[in-house]
Amino acid sequence: MKDYNKIIRENSTMESNRLILRPFSMKDVQDVFLYASDDIVTKYLTWPSHIDISQTEKVVKEFYMTKSGVFAIELKSEHKCIGCIELRVCPEHDKASFGYVLNREYWNKGYMTEALKLILDFAFSRLGLNRIEATHYVGNEGSGRVMQKCGMKYEGKGLQEVKIKGIFHDVVHYAILREDWINSY
């Protein structure tokens, strides 16, 4: 089986017009705390807002800096980490899913669409995957819009599919296949 983690390690930095995707470092803790402590940002995420920066230090050290496929989103013009995007490879099925989060100050400027396009290109061209899938909760339509803008297709909705923070959520499913990604060029 392909060593996906090795390929990810060898391509740990990617660049687009306005962004750099790169590994996290402890220097990013303050920037991460800015979005991780924002209740509006974490509303549709599985984890609760950080209350103390020591929580962020622990997450950056034990998760962001160690787990394969986790990228800091750096805004070139400000040399600032404005978010995170994570590619989660499922080697058994030659597919992956992803998650993303962005500092609220930078929403609706096309940044996550730009970051996701880099990740999709990497996943299909370098990792050679067959399918990339993702979900968002009903109510978080901006996230679905990012997926649409990157060529992902709506696959359906699971009613009350998950219970997060005590609330049942309907879950919207999106995916893009390798053949559709190739045809989009």
Ligand X SMILES: CC(C)(COP(=O)(O)OP(=O)(O)OC[C@H]1O[C@@H](n2cnc3c(N)ncnc32)[C@H](O)[C@@H]1OP(=O)(O)O)[C@@H](O)C(=O)NCCC(=O)NCCS
Contacts with ligand X by CB under 6 A lie at: 41, 44-45, 100-102, 107-113, 136, 140-143, 145-146
| Burial (CB count <10 Å: 0-12, 13-18, 19+), residue 79 | exposed
Smallest distance, ligand X to C-beta of residue 146, A = 5
For the CA atoms of the chain, what is the radius of gyration? 16
Contact assessment for residue 144 and residue 127, using Cβ atoms and an 8 Å cutoff? no
Comparing CB distances to ligand X, the nearer of 90 and 128 is 90
Comparing CB distances to ligand X, the nearer of 89 and 135 is 135
Comparing CB distances to ligand X, the nearer of 61 and 107 is 107
Smallest distance, ligand X to C-beta of residue 131, A = 18
The span from the CA of 17 to the CA of 65, in Å, is 25
Smallest distance, ligand X to C-beta of residue 3, A = 28
Comparing CB distances to ligand X, the nearer of 46 and 183 is 46
The helix-helix angle for 141-149 and 111-121 (nearest 10°) equals: 50
Residue nearest to ligand X (CB): 142
Smallest distance, ligand X to C-beta of residue 135, A = 7
Residues 40/41/47/51 CA torsion (nearest 10 deg) = -70
